[in-house]
Amino acid sequence: MPVSPEVQRAEAFRRWLAGHRAAQEIMEGERRRWLRAISQPEATGLYLARVSMPGGGRKEAGHSPVLVAMRRALARHGETRPG
C-alpha cells in the first residue's frame, strides 16, 4: 500500500528532528567540556568581551522582538495564543 505524501513528510521530519536533537546534545556536551577546561582569567576575558559588544550586556525586561512580531502575525491571521 503506497504511503501518502503527508505521511512521508511527517516521517522525514521526525527523522530530521531526531538527528537535530542528537546533534544538539553533542554540541551541548562539547560546550560544557570546553567551559570546564578554560581558566578563570580566560572566562573573565570572554565575559568582558561579550558584554562590551553591542547588545552584549544585560537585556532589558520585555519580550523578544521576534516573539512580538510572531504574535502580531498570528493576530493578523485571526489566530490566538494557546492557553
Distances (CA, A) of 66 to 8, 50, 53, 63, 72: 31, 22, 21, 8, 10
pLDDT at position 62, please? Answer: 73
pLDDT at position 60, please? Answer: 60
Higher pLDDT, 64 or 36: 36
Residue type, 59: K
Contact of 65 with 55, CB cutoff 8 Å:
no
Q: How much of the chain exceeds pLDDT 70, in percent?
A: 87
Q: Is 78 helix (H, G, I), strand (E, B) or coil?
A: coil
pLDDT at position 54, please? Answer: 82
Q: What one-character DSSP code corresponds to residue 28?
A: H
Per-domain residue ranges of the chain: 5-58
Q: Tell me: pLDDT of 83 over 50.
A: no
Higher pLDDT, 26 or 68: 26
| Most confident of the ranges 24-28, 43-47, 60-64 | 24-28
